[in-house]
């Protein structure tokens, strides 16, 4: 049964026939408590996600060093008595000369278009069916998980678009008329890759969520880890196949998405994150030629990747904590 919209005249006639004289308040409803996370259970999906997102991104700060052409994302706990800003990640974009070398890889990837065209088109938006097929994600069973993924996606877009604006890296088709992208080129910068960022933040959050829901001694997230990471990498690479990104865009997207996923999980649990970095000037082969994107490259060191050993505490978000725990229950 579904409760569709009725003709308002029908409701008006029905009320007039049954309501009788108005007698004032007759129902005794518990008044919701003030400023408690559990009130989220009362709200519709959209308002719930919006409220959580506002608290999730609270304290994130962007900074750009124009002389060094370097940009950072920092975090400060705005609820602390003494506010201290900690660096979450530092990025440095590829040079124009590097992009020209990377263009050879983009041109070569075009050979895969006949095999991957259907995937490329299906993944233009957020490719939820691909993630669902890996872990058995269903609308009717995992509503809070889907809202958590909405937040991860929103966080990725919030951060990646700011970095895209800062670095303003040109797209492959601006360097050669022979690239001829398979899909319309997006109207913003190429670096970092948004699809790569969104894919790896999704993989990181799902891995942590499945681990949190696993019985003691089991790690379901780890069991799915390889498939989730492979899917994220394939989604990223498909954008290169389409001719709208360079492999180095995927590399930084992997770093950025992983860092943002770790941040989201820490915000939900009151945990810690490690400062990460990516310097695209070092993303080259030993002989100086263009380096292709690969999951085999370490995220912690080498090829421009870095991670600081010291962990940074992240304040627990009460709203994110509530939603995270509700999502965990859906997998238990």
Structure tokens at 59: 């304290």
Q: Dihedral of CA 12/28/45/47: which sign?
A: positive
Percent of the chain past pLDDT 70, that is, above it, reads 98
User: How many Cβ atoms from other residues are within 10 Å of residue 275's Cβ?
Assistant: 21
User: Would you list the domain boundaries of the chain?
Assistant: 42-329
Mean pLDDT of 164-192: 97
Structure tokens at 132: 């669902």
Which region among 43-52, 218-227, 296-305, 317-326 has the lowest average model confidence (pLDDT)? 218-227
Query: How does strand 60-65 pair with strand 70-76?
Result: antiparallel
Q: What is the pLDDT of residue 215?
A: 83
Which region among 12-16, 183-187, 196-200 has the lowest average model confidence (pLDDT)? 12-16
Q: What is the pLDDT of residue 2?
A: 59
216 has a pLDDT exceeding 80: no
97 has a pLDDT exceeding 90: yes
Using pLDDT thresholds of 50, 70 and 90, give the confidence band for residue 217.
Answer: low
Mean pLDDT of 217-235: 88
Mean pLDDT of 6-20: 91
| H or E element that contains 16 | helix 8-18
282 has a pLDDT exceeding 60: yes
Mean pLDDT of 247-272: 97
Exposure letters 162-194 (e unless 16+ CB within 10 A, then b): ebbebbebebbbebeeebebbeebbeebbbbbb
Mean pLDDT of 250-261: 98
How far apart CA 133 and CA 224 sit, in angstroms, is 12
Given a contact cutoff of 8 angstroms between Cβ atoms, the answer to whether 326 and 268 are in contact is no
Structure tokens at 157: 């877009």
**Location of structure tokens 């069991």:** 223
Which region among 162-171, 192-201, 207-216, 271-280 has the lowest average model confidence (pLDDT)? 207-216
Using pLDDT thresholds of 50, 70 and 90, give the confidence band for residue 4.
Answer: low
Mean pLDDT of 165-179: 98
Mean pLDDT of 115-123: 98
pLDDT, one tens digit per residue, over 44-68 is: 999 999 999 999 999 999 999 999 9
How far apart CA 295 and CA 232 sit, in angstroms, is 10
- Is this structure's pTM higher than 0.75? yes
Q: Dihedral of CA 134/135/139/145: which sign?
A: negative
The DSSP secondary-structure symbol of 314 reads -
DSSP code string of 162-212: HHHHHH-PPPGGGT-TT---SSPPPSS--SS-HHHHHHHHHHHHHHHHHHH
Mean pLDDT of 291-299: 97
In sequence order, the β-bridge partners of residue 277 are: 90, 306
How far apart CA 279 and CA 251 sit, in angstroms, is 10
1 has a pLDDT exceeding 70: no
The CA radius of gyration of the chain, in Å to the nearest whole number, is 23
pLDDT, one tens digit per residue, over 236-251 is: 999 999 999 999 999 9
How far apart CA 187 and CA 307 sit, in angstroms, is 31
Q: What is the pLDDT of residue 180?
A: 98
How far apart CA 302 and CA 61 sit, in angstroms, is 27
Given a contact cutoff of 8 angstroms between Cβ atoms, the answer to whether 64 and 71 are in contact is yes
Top pLDDT among 305 and 217 is at 305
Q: What is the pLDDT of residue 169?
A: 98
Structure tokens at 215: 């019985």
Query: How does strand 272-279 pair with strand 85-92?
Result: parallel
How far apart CA 181 and CA 171 sit, in angstroms, is 10
Q: What is the pLDDT of residue 66?
A: 92
Mean pLDDT of 249-255: 98
Q: What is the pLDDT of residue 6?
A: 73
> First and final CA of the chain: distance in angstroms?
29
């Amino acid at each position: 049964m579904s409760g569709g919209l009725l003709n308002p005249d029908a409701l008006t006639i029905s009320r007039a026939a049954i309501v009788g004289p108005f007698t004032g308040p007759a129902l005794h409803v518990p008044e919701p408590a003030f400023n408690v996370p559990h009130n989220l259970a009362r709200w519709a999906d959209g308002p719930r996600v919006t409220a959580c997102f506002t608290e999730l991104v609270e304290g994130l700060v962007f900074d750009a060093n124009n002389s060094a052409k370097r940009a950072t994302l920092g975090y400060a706990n705005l609820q602390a008595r003494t506010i201290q800003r900690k660096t979450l990640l530092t990025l440095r974009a590829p040079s124009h000369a590097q992009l020209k070398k990377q263009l050879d890889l983009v041109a070569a990837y075009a050979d895969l278009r006949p095999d991957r065209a259907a995937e490329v088109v299906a993944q233009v938006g957020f490719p939820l069916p691909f993630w669902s097929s890996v872990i058995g994600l269903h609308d009717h069973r995992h509503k809070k998980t889907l809202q958590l993924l909405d937040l991860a996606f929103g966080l990725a877009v919030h951060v990646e678009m700011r970095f895209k604006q800062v670095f303003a890296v040109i797209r492959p088709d601006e360097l050669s008329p022979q690239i001829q992208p398979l899909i319309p080129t997006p109207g913003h910068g190429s670096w970092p890759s948004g699809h790569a960022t969104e894919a790896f933040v999704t993989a990181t959050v799902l891995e942590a969520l499945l681990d949190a829901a696993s019985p003691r001694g089991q790690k379901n997230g780890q069991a799915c880890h390889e498939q989730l990471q492979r899917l994220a990498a394939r989604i990223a690479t498909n954008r290169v196949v389409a001719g709208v990104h360079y492999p180095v865009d995927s590399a930084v997207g992997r770093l950025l998405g992983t860092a943002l996923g770790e941040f989201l999980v820490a915000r939900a649990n009151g945990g810690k994150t490690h400062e990460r970095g990516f310097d695209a000037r070092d993303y080259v082969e030993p002989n100086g030629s263009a380096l292709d994107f690969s999951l085999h490259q370490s995220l912690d060191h080498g090829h421009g990747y870095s991670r600081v050993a010291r962990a940074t505490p992240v304040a627990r978000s009460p709203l994110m904590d509530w939603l995270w725990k509700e999502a965990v229950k859906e997998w238990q």
